[in-house]
Chain A
Amino acid sequence: MKFYYFHLMPYIMDHDEPSSWVTLSNRHYDPAVGHTLYNQYLDQFEYAEKLGWDGLCVNEHHQNCYGTMPSPNVMAAMLVRRTTRAKIAILGNGLPLRENPLRVAEEIAMLDVASGGRIISGFVRGISAEYFSTGVNPTHSRERFYEAAELILRAWTEEGPFPFDGRFYRFHYVNPWPRPLQKPHPPVWCPSQGSSETVEWAAKRRFPYLMVFTPIKRIAQIYGEYREACERNGYRASRYQLTVNVPVVVAESDAKARELAEKHVMWVFNTGLRMHPPFWRPPGYITEASLRRLLANPPVLPSDLTFEQADREGYLIYGSPATVRDKLRVFADELQAGILCTAMNGGTHERTLELMQLFAEEVMPHFREDAKVDETAGVGR
């Protein structure tokens, strides 16, 4: 199994506002605190590489305390020069949120060239609330996503200049300098919530599918759908196409880990993902068919998720190293997930570094049968 260290770069705070997204006033953001946080979080990434993590994951979110990385490419750029081995996975750029997707093609190519080909490029639509903070029409989201992805992939792989005439994006000269170093292009991942349209789209292109903060039963179901879609497209899914993002808390004892998880992991769900209900469901962001599936079996709102339910349904992994190893076996052996992305938060920077070290020393080595395998070979492109 491959291990990727994932960070939201949250601005952790408590508040009584109805939403941590879009409307939570940025007067709560203290740049001096932010300075310390950014540097601690970047230190954690660099430490993760030293400890043996295979990849480092950054991501794009706007206008909230949940994740303060509106431009993931900026953070990736800092990591490129401070690391030498780990993959840098940008999970991802919100393609429809950009007015000009060629900027994504250019920035990823810059990072890929500068890093010596260590970049993984996630393509995402951006979550529902981001259509409120960017003003992009959510009814265009899906179509803009497909069109932008097509444009970026062509910009990376076809010799320029060529013209592009889409519904949303139009250029007479597509000819980005630099071109990416990896051939035919950096691996593309699809972090998603499991809409059947995206599963099919990703499977067709061998783009790895990443399930984020999802109960384990649903991960199993979507993995099944993804594998079937790969079969329909004439190939068998590699385990490195099945990736998962689960928060992990490992500590000296189960009780200690539980205490940390109840506080710090549940902050992400209960506060970080607290959202004014309309922000969850902008009009036209999902298809009516997807909406009906959702309503027939409504998922619990993250803000209503209790620790007991999160524990029971596998939203997180916590425990002593031995317990964490056992829980991780379910992901590695039963779900056959090839890559685990995980954030860690011990409450303080120092404690977080300790958790990371404990995980790297006591858990990771037990899952290293594939140490010599390149997880990006033959997938994502």
Chain B
Amino acid sequence: MPASRELSVRGTPIHLMQDGTGPALLFLHGAGGAGRWLPFQERLAGDFSVYFPSHPGHGGSPAAEWIEHISDLAFHYLDLLDELGLARVHLVGASFGGWIAAEIATMASHRLASLVLIDPVGIRVDGWIYPFLFGMDIPEIVGTVFHNPMAALALAPPDQSIDTLALQYRQGAALARVAWNPYLYDPLLRRRLARIASPTLLCWGAHDRLAPLAPCGEAWAKAIPGARLQVFDDAGHVPHLEEADAVADAVAEFCRLQGAKR
């Protein structure tokens, strides 16, 4: 079981989970993934000291009114690294968390031992418009995000209480504040990806219907200098849930390799 704690990052209170020993690894979750310590994180904690914060407004972290733009979240996580006294980390982000991670990498590659993006959103891709999850009901969302719908059970809410529904609403609002329009991307990010100097692994579900391998994964691979693209055949948008062991092993191997190089 990971240790759980509350801390203040430059005045913004957040909830953070942490477990494992070894080089520091910061994991940034996607929408709906806050506070879900699953087999993926468990496996990584075997090799790394895994830090898993909830974004403000998600999970156990209260909403932060000052967050208006995706770059606010990127700065927030650079502040978290300072708060934790971590000079460099392996940075792993999934989906929305991958977007934040990419923004961080364009700002401060020198703080990253390596960068792993799992089916990130965040850039405008020619020929693709992200399906509008805000306009979908739960079955439609599951059908868009998951190749294996059974994997969605890991993210299912514990109940339908007012507190649970209010939390889901708060999470949706926190996401919408930075991602409603433009939807799921920052128009400036794609051009800036060329600034990323950290070794980068892109993990992609072959059946991602939100941000498909072609054209999205291919666009990312082209935009980040030297990025390696690894495809997971039995996964949709969330391979770290759908093929947790395989993705965790790929991430661990990549990060170990980059660590050894330095």
Interface residues, chain A, with chain B CB atoms under 8 Å away: 22-23, 132, 135-139, 276-279, 281-284, 288, 291-292, 295-296
* Of A132, A137, A277, the contact of B177 (CB 8 Å cutoff): A137
Contact flags (1/0) for B154-185 with A, using CB distance below 8 Å? 00000000100110011011011100110000
- Closest approach, in angstroms, between the C-beta of B178 and any C-beta of chain A? 9
15 more A-B residue pairs beyond the given contacts A137-B177, A138-B176, with a C-beta to C-beta distance below 8 A: A137-B180, A137-B181, A138-B180, A139-B176, A276-B137, A278-B135, A283-B134, A283-B169, A283-B180, A288-B169, A292-B162, A292-B166, A295-B162, A295-B165, A296-B162
Contact B135 A288 (CB under 8 A): no
B134 — which chain A residues lie within 8 A by C-beta?
Answer: 132, 278, 282-283
Interface residues, chain B, with chain A CB atoms under 8 Å away: 134-137, 162, 165-166, 169-170, 172-173, 175-177, 180-181
- Closest approach, in angstroms, between the C-beta of A141 and any C-beta of chain B? 11
Contact B166 A282 (CB under 8 A): no
B169 — which chain A residues lie within 8 A by C-beta?
Answer: 281, 283, 288, 291
Q: What's the count of A-B pairs with C-beta under 8 Å?
A: 51
* Of A283, A288, A295, the contact of B176 (CB 8 Å cutoff): A283
Contact B165 A139 (CB under 8 A): no
Contact B177 A284 (CB under 8 A): yes
A276 — which chain B residues lie within 8 A by C-beta?
Answer: 135, 137
Contact A284 B173 (CB under 8 A): yes
Contact B173 A139 (CB under 8 A): yes
Q: How far is the CA of A325 from the CA of B220 in the complex (A)?
A: 69
A291 — which chain B residues lie within 8 A by C-beta?
Answer: 165-166, 169
8 A-B pairs with the lowest CB-CB distances in the bound complex, closest first:
A284-B173, A283-B172, A283-B176, A283-B173, A137-B180, A139-B177, A295-B162, A135-B181
A136 — which chain B residues lie within 8 A by C-beta?
Answer: 181
Most buried by B among A23, A138, A281, A296: A138
A296 — which chain B residues lie within 8 A by C-beta?
Answer: 162
Closest to A22 in B: B135
- Closest approach, in angstroms, between the C-beta of A16 and any C-beta of chain B? 17
B175 — which chain A residues lie within 8 A by C-beta?
Answer: 283
Closest to B180 in A: A137
- Closest approach, in angstroms, between the C-beta of A327 and any C-beta of chain B? 35
A-B contact pairs, 14 of them (CB 8 A): A22-B135, A132-B134, A138-B176, A138-B180, A278-B135, A279-B135, A281-B169, A283-B175, A283-B180, A284-B173, A291-B166, A295-B162, A295-B165, A295-B166
- Closest approach, in angstroms, between the C-beta of A5 and any C-beta of chain B? 35
Q: How far is the CA of A295 from the CA of B177 in the complex (A)?
A: 22
A132 — which chain B residues lie within 8 A by C-beta?
Answer: 134-135
- Closest approach, in angstroms, between the C-beta of A20 and any C-beta of chain B? 15
Q: How far is the CA of A146 from the CA of B134 in the complex (A)?
A: 25
- Closest approach, in angstroms, between the C-beta of B84 and any C-beta of chain A? 29
B180 — which chain A residues lie within 8 A by C-beta?
Answer: 137-139, 283
B177 — which chain A residues lie within 8 A by C-beta?
Answer: 137, 139, 284
B173 — which chain A residues lie within 8 A by C-beta?
Answer: 139, 283-284, 288
Closest to B160 in A: A295
Contact A278 B162 (CB under 8 A): no
B162 — which chain A residues lie within 8 A by C-beta?
Answer: 292, 295-296
Contacts A137-B176, A296-B162 hold; do A278 and B136 have CB atoms under 8 A apart?
yes
B172 — which chain A residues lie within 8 A by C-beta?
Answer: 283-284
Closest to B181 in A: A135
- Closest approach, in angstroms, between the C-beta of A105 and any C-beta of chain B? 25
- Closest approach, in angstroms, between the C-beta of A137 and any C-beta of chain B? 4
* Of A22, A138, A288, the contact of B166 (CB 8 Å cutoff): A288
Closest to A286 in B: B169
B166 — which chain A residues lie within 8 A by C-beta?
Answer: 288, 291-292, 295
Contacts A288-B166, A291-B166 hold; do A278 and B176 have CB atoms under 8 A apart?
no
- Closest approach, in angstroms, between the C-beta of B31 and any C-beta of chain A? 11
* Of A22, A139, A277, A292, the contact of B137 (CB 8 Å cutoff): A277
Closest to A132 in B: B135
Q: How far is the CA of A284 from the CA of B172 in the complex (A)?
A: 7
Contacts A135-B181, A137-B177, A138-B180 hold; do A288 and B170 have CB atoms under 8 A apart?
yes
A135 — which chain B residues lie within 8 A by C-beta?
Answer: 181
- Closest approach, in angstroms, between the C-beta of A290 and any C-beta of chain B? 10
